Structure 1
Amino acid sequence: MRVVPILAGIGLTAAAGACAAAPPVTVFAAGDIADCRWSRPASSGAAGTAALIAERLPATPDAIVLTLGDTTYPVGLPAEYRDCYEPTWGAFRDRTRPTPGNHEYYNGSPAPYFDYFGAAAGARGLGYYSFEAGPWHVVSLNSHLSPADHARQLAWLREDLARHPARCTLAYWHVPLYSSGGHPPATNLRMQDAWRVLLAAGAELVLSGHDHDYERFAPMDAEGRPDARGIRQFVVGTGGAFLTPFRLGARGGEARQATDHGVLKLVLRDDGYDWEFLGVPRSWSEYPAPDVNDRGSATCH
């Protein structure tokens, strides 16, 4: 794998000045995960990304796992969770905080998703909730609600952010606002109003999936304009499902790749965050492992 840099430069974290900083929290995140239609679980893409997380847990025993939607394929049936997700990413269920994707709804109801994750998925049927990860406030949103339910989600989001003021805030949902992937850009605008609410609250990060690739964006406002105090978005649809090529050239992209499965590792610090894309080592001998991983650091606003 080669992550292709698009814009030069990565922001470096300023030296920490606090005398008693809160302990950092490690997060592993990816979406578009378990698909066993053409392989057994042990040889699926989800098994490869699960191995990346498992081998790092001894060094980060309190790590959190975020799933960014489309947890199973093709339609989120109970059998898909039991036979494909559980043997791979199921090892992390006790530390997983999920968000639903469009495939969770393809069976007509996301009930199997809520059945599998239980209380960790928030209030049943809503698909949005928040929690604290060390010094960070973290919000999971649902990008597949009806207009009326989405309006209620926005009202909840405003109240939640007002109740939990934090220097550093991360939000995640399935459909990205910005992407160079294959889904039509107009379909991504459903979460633009949520981006505005988060931006007004000073949020730092948004994570999404949906497009089966990895892409990092510069901080931007809700209209896609560069903004030093804007939100940085990562698209991490590389959790194990088939990868898809880039078809667009979205503004603000800084790095991207669509050749290797992998997960995003974040270290959430008291005053900022570090990121690294971890690619699954390749099995063919001439290219034994990903050759470049995207990594960097930034401070909170």
Structure 2
Amino acid sequence: MRRNRVAAGTSAVLLGVAGLWAVTLAAGGVKTAGQEPQPTATVAAPSLPSPDETPARAGGVRIAAVGDMNGPKNSAADSPSGRNGAAISTLVRTNQIDAFLGLGDFQYDTAYCADYVKYWHPLWGGTKSKLYWVSAPNHDWQPGRNEDLDNFMNGQCPDAPGKAAINQQRGLIGNGTPYSKDFGKWHIAFLSSAQWRYNPAQAQAITAWLDKDLAGARAAGKHLAVVHHDPYFTSDTHGHSRSTELKPWIDVMWKHRVRFTLSGSQHNYERSCPVNNADQCVGDGITAFQVSTGGMGLRSFTSSPPYIVKRFSDTHGFLRMTLRDDGSFGWSFVPTSGSSTDAGTRPAPR
């Protein structure tokens, strides 16, 4: 299987809202994702949107999001995973969403090409044409162990040639590579929190990339959001506590007033108050959604941080959001196995 990699220790070219930024990273660094050429405007016709931008639509950008999707060797359509995959695939097929954000841990337990093709693809493959993804540590990607998720998303696994939406636009995106994408007036950065586990120096380099990426988008008048797998604003469970190593990323998000984050990992659902980098509820803070209800066994909570304002661990489902041009957004948790839900709106920034 051909894997178009950039050699460790070379300069990786990362895509940013202001154009191409060359960032020299340490050995084992970020791999280059391809970019289509920008269309050329003519006098006779207006410029087309950049391939890195999904055009705005009346009513706002519509997304669905969830992580922690499918258990080992599960291909049952009536499982929680199967119900979620079918529901989101229907939204994709009927053009009711503009993007599906995959929050990591796509296939358990140790997934290789054959596992994605045999188990994940039958249940979730209908989402792939609008899928923007991040890799999670261990189940999606552990260097030297399981490294096939990026191949699968790029259509390089046998019997699954379809590419995820971001790969259709940019080509191969290596596990752990950060990228960002404009959706109308919104700018979303996608980060692999696995880098903090496997290569902290690389994670620090991504911190600098994130700072520059968000600064450029904010200067261009975009509203900001960030996707990553391991949560920082979260309750403890018997499986995981908060990922404190992400604090440098959180400081950058707070600096640029990111409107919301999406993460997974905990096998339950949580929403924070608008929170700052000191765990305080503030008017211009970050609304942190933790949505790991894709299909894995659910976990109860073992702590109660004051910044969490809604949570449940008895329902599988996914989050739908509408991102409006003025920076306001609405959300609704869609239950598919169970009955708990959550819905609300956050007004535009002042």
Q: Which moved more, 1:83-92 or 1:104-113?
A: 104-113
2:256 match: 201
**Out of 167, 191, 197, which is 1:141 matched to?**
191
Q: What is the DSSP-based 3-state SS (H/G/I as helix, E as strand, rest coil) of the residue aligned with 1:193?
A: helix
Counterpart of 2:181 (choices 131, 134, 142) is 131
Point out the structure with max Rg over C-alpha: 2
Q: In the TM superposition, what whole-angstrom CA distance separates every residue of 1:121-152 from its partner, at most 9, and x where no partner exists?
A: 67324331000112100110111111111011
Q: Could you report, residue by residue, the CA deviation over 1:199-255 in whole angstroms, capped at 9, with x for unpaired residues?
A: 111210001100000011101111211121110101100011111111111221111
Q: How does 1:14-93 map to 2 (within 5 A)?
A: 23=58, 24-37=60-73, 39-57=74-92, 60-93=95-128
One-letter amino acid of the structure 1 residue matched with residue 329 of structure 2: Y
The code of the aligned residue for 1:209 comes to G
Which residue among 151, 154, 160 is the counterpart of 2:213? 160
- The one-letter code sitting in structure 1 at the alignment partner of 2:344 is G
1:247–1:220 Cα change, 3 Å: same
1:172 to 208, 212, 227: 227
* 2:334 paired with 1:299: no
Q: Distance in 2 between matches of 1:57 and 1:105?
A: 26
Aligned to 1:97: 132
Secondary structure in 2 matching 1:262: strand
Is the aligned partner of 1:114 residue 2:143? no
CA shift for structure 1 position 57? 4.0
Shift of 1:22: 5.5
Q: Which amino acid aligns with 1:113?
A: L
Cα distance in 1 for partners of 2:290, 2:182 equals 22
SS at match of 2:303: coil
| Partner residue, 2:330 | 274
Aligned residues: 271
User: Which residue of the partner structure matches residue 14 of structure 1?
Assistant: none
Q: Which of these residues, 286, 311, 319, is aligned with residue 264 of structure 1?
A: 319
Separation in structure 1 between the aligned mates of residue 114 and residue 80 of structure 2, nearest angstrom = 18
Tell me by how many angstroms 1:106 deviates: 4.5
Paired with 1:126 and 1:22, the residues of 2 have a C-alpha distance of 31
Aligned ranges for residues 229-268 of structure 1 at < 5 Å? 229-268=284-323
C-alpha RMSD of matched pairs (Å): 2.0
Secondary structure in structure 1 of the residue aligned to 2:140: helix
Relative contact order: is structure 1 or structure 2 higher (C-alpha 8 Å, sep ≥ 6)?
1
Any stretches of 5+ residues in structure 2 without a counterpart?
A: 1-55, 155-163
Query: Are the counterparts in 2 of residues 33 and 71 from structure 1 also a CA contact under 8 Å?
Result: yes
Alignment partners' CA distance in 2, 1:268 and 1:214: 20
Distance 1:91 1:296 in 2: 28
The answer to whether the 8 A contact 2:269-2:293 is kept is yes
Task: Find the aligned partners of 2:347 and 2:85 in 1 and give their Cα distance.
Answer: 29
Question: Can you give the 5+ residue segments of structure 1 that lack an aligned partner in the other structure?
Answer: 1-20, 283-289
- TM-score normalized by the length of structure 2: 0.72
Deviations 1:139-188 (A, max 9, x none): 10111111111011111111111222234211010110021141453x51
Quick one: which amino acid aligns to residue 347 of structure 2? T
Equivalent pair of 1:209/1:237 in contact (CA under 8 Å): yes
User: Distance between the aligned counterparts of 1:134 and 1:62, measured in 2?
Assistant: 13
1:212–1:244 contact (8 Å) kept in structure 2: yes
Deviations 1:79-128 (A, max 9, x none): 22111110111111111000111211247345211101127367324331
The 1:107/1:129 distance shift into structure 2, 3 A limit, reads closer
Residues 71, 108 of structure 2: 8 Å contact kept = yes
